[in-house]
Amino acid sequence: MYNNPFPYSNDNKRYYTISYYFKEKYHQKVAKVPLNAGFTCPNRDGSKSVGGCTFCSSKGSGDSILDFQESLEHQYEVGLERMRHKWPDCLGFAYFQSYTNTYAPLSKLKEIYDPFFNREDVTGIAIATRADCLKEDVIQYLEEQAKKKETWIELGLQSIHEKTMQACNRAHTTQELYDTLDRLANTSIHVCVHIMNGLPGESKEDMLETVIQLSKHKFDAIKIHMLHIIEGTKMAEQYKDTNFPLFSIEEYVDVVVDQLELLPPTCVIERVTGDGLAKDLIAPLWTIKKTIVANEIDKRMVKKDTWQGKKFGN
């Protein structure tokens, strides 16, 4: 094995993987079990807009949840069993993935989350939501729970550029995301931010600027996605109409490696590419092979002799 200059790694990765984070903390594999709690989003139900984000599937990014119409307890048990086929001794982490999982009154949220916070066999909880759907009483509730069990909030940013996100129908501002990060900064809640590369009209410089500006605020982890064109989405209609350009795997790897250099070295990298269901994926088809994408990122970092955070703050 070559000499790895990056301190938060015990293998060939030159960035801080979620696997490394969990193994350092719990000394064994931790698997996130995706769940669908039946929420919607304010840009779907007419509160702010309709249709949802133009790139998001009808299942609110929860396409991998096979038993989404069953109870949450059933979803969790089946999902964890599926994970344990791959990692027999893994711990379970409840991941409320689909739609906006704090888009309800606190009383309703407690009904959903309390059973999981109270389960001893649930290692932690991750809740995907929007920056404009975190009221103070919800933050206070999650802060109290976070003192007892590891708790994550996942926030969809995708891009800091307002023109891009207005076209994507996000229906909240980047400043709202920044303000939410600042509100969460002094709590016990961990925060993960999602960004997306390859959105229509954005240059490489725009994508790097997203990471630069985001890194001026406190957050604990990031998920880096490539834009997927998913059948049935508004983005798919736009793609079929205009055939706007999409990244090749080489272009994507180049952007991600440069973004990793700009991120804080202590930021956990939960993903370096995303997954869309193969049967619904229109393009780019190279994203189906996630392991190949990750391997190409590793090889590029070695070739450049670089690592996460090398240019952070420069």
Q: Return the pLDDT at 68.
A: 63
Report yes or no: 312 and 15 within 8 Å, Cβ to Cβ. no
Spatial distance between the Cα atoms of 52 and 44, rounded to a whole number of angstroms: 4
Topology (CATH level 3) of domain 18-304? TIM Barrel (3.20.20)
Contact between 154 and 131 under an 8 Å Cβ cutoff? The reply is no
For the chain, give every domain's residue range: 18-304
Residue 67: how many CB atoms within 10 A of its CB?
15
pLDDT of residue 1: 42
Distance CA 200, CA 205 (A): 13
Q: Are strands 229-230 and 281-283 parallel, antiparallel or unpaired?
A: antiparallel
Average pLDDT for runs of 10 along the chain of length 314: 78 95 96 95 96 84 59 95 95 96 98 97 97 97 97 98 97 98 97 98 98 98 96 95 95 98 98 84 94 96 96 88
Sole residue written with tokens 């994408």: 293
How high is the pLDDT of residue 5? 81
Question: Which tokens hold the place of 141?
Answer: 């509730």
The per-residue pLDDT for 2 is 52
**Residue 234 confidence (pLDDT):** 95
